[in-house]
Amino acid sequence: MSGRHTVTEARVTRRRGRAVNLGLLLPLLVVLGTIAVVAIGLLTEDEDRDPRQAGPTQAGPTPAGPATPAPSTAKPAKTTAKAPGTGLAGARSTLQAWLRALGRGDASACDRYVTKAFAESRFGSMAKCRWHAKNITKYNSAKEVQALKTAVVRGGTVEADGRVWVDFTDLAWTSGHMTARTTERKHILRWDGDSWVLG
């Protein structure tokens, strides 16, 4: 009888050993699987933001030119001086609101977020700025419009004169695709006494 009991104990001990080994391996396998899924997602996201797929500009389609690199999604903000009003955060908020309003086709964005000089230099007049915003899908691809709708501004530099510069590389978006030709390479905002405006 004691022999059978010893064999049964040995089997139970081996099973417990396997259970302990599986108990240790399972969390490790879960972590490795999560890392693989995240890596694949990042690779897929980079493919979605192929900089060689340049689109039309704000003023209309442009011929193909050199590709613009995709924006960094983790670039820290740079500041060199304290801005008036709500500071750098206020300027970023205005630029983000402008880009998202364009993506929605909101013609009133021209009156709220840009100066007359900006509208004239980019669109020809304030009226043409409104027309462009209202008819954004005629000037930009569906992917660009989607990227504008989901744009996020992360960064910028406050200059000594109080203006804020935001590079295209300080922009990110959660869907769609755009390049610097969709917006601009460098966005310049200034405090007009009441609010931040592009100009």
Q: pLDDT-derived band of residue 89, with 50, 70 and 90 as boundaries? A: very high
Q: pLDDT value at position 154?
A: 94
Q: Range with the lowest mean pLDDT among 68-77, 136-145, 166-175, 181-190? A: 68-77
| Residue 7 placed within a domain | no
Residue 110, in any domain of the structure: yes
The secondary structure of 77-142, three-state, reads: CCCCCCCCCCHHHHHHHHHHHHHHHHHHCCCCHHHHHECHHHHHHHHCCHHHHHHHHHCHHHHCCH
What confidence score (pLDDT) does residue 87 get?
A: 83
Strand order in the sheet with 157-158: 157-158, 164-167, 186-191, 196-198
Residues 55-75, mean pLDDT to the nearest whole number:
40
CA distances from 47 to 56, 67, 80, 94, 153 (A): 20, 14, 34, 29, 21
- The answer to whether position 176 is within a domain reads yes
Residue 24 has what pLDDT?
Answer: 64
**Residues forming a β-bridge with 191:** 196
Task: Report in angstroms the alpha-carbon separations of 22 from 13, 31, 32, 91, 151.
Answer: 14, 14, 15, 54, 45
What pLDDT is stored for residue 44 in this prediction?
43
| Direct distance between the N- and C-terminal alpha carbons of the chain, in angstroms, rounded to an integer | 94
**Is 13 among the domain residues?**
no
Residue-wise pLDDT for 13-28, tens only, equals: 555 555 556 566 656 6
Q: What is the pLDDT of residues 31-46, one digit of tens each?
A: 555 565 444 554 444 4
One-letter amino acid for residue 180 of the chain:
A
pLDDT at 173 over 50: yes
The answer as to whether 159 is a domain residue is yes
- Give the pLDDT of residue 21: 62
Whether pTM exceeds 0.85: no
Residue 59 above 60 pLDDT? no
Question: Is residue 3 a part of any domain in this protein?
Answer: no
- Split into its structural domains, the chain has a count of 1
Indicate whether 68 pLDDT > 90. no
Task: Give the residue numbers spanning the domain of 117.
Answer: 87-198
pLDDT of 168 over the 90 cut: yes
Cα separation of 118 and 129, whole Å? 9
Find the farthest-apart pair of alpha carbons in the chain and give their distance in angstroms, rounded. 101
**163 lies in a domain?**
yes
Domain membership of residue 75 (yes or no) is no
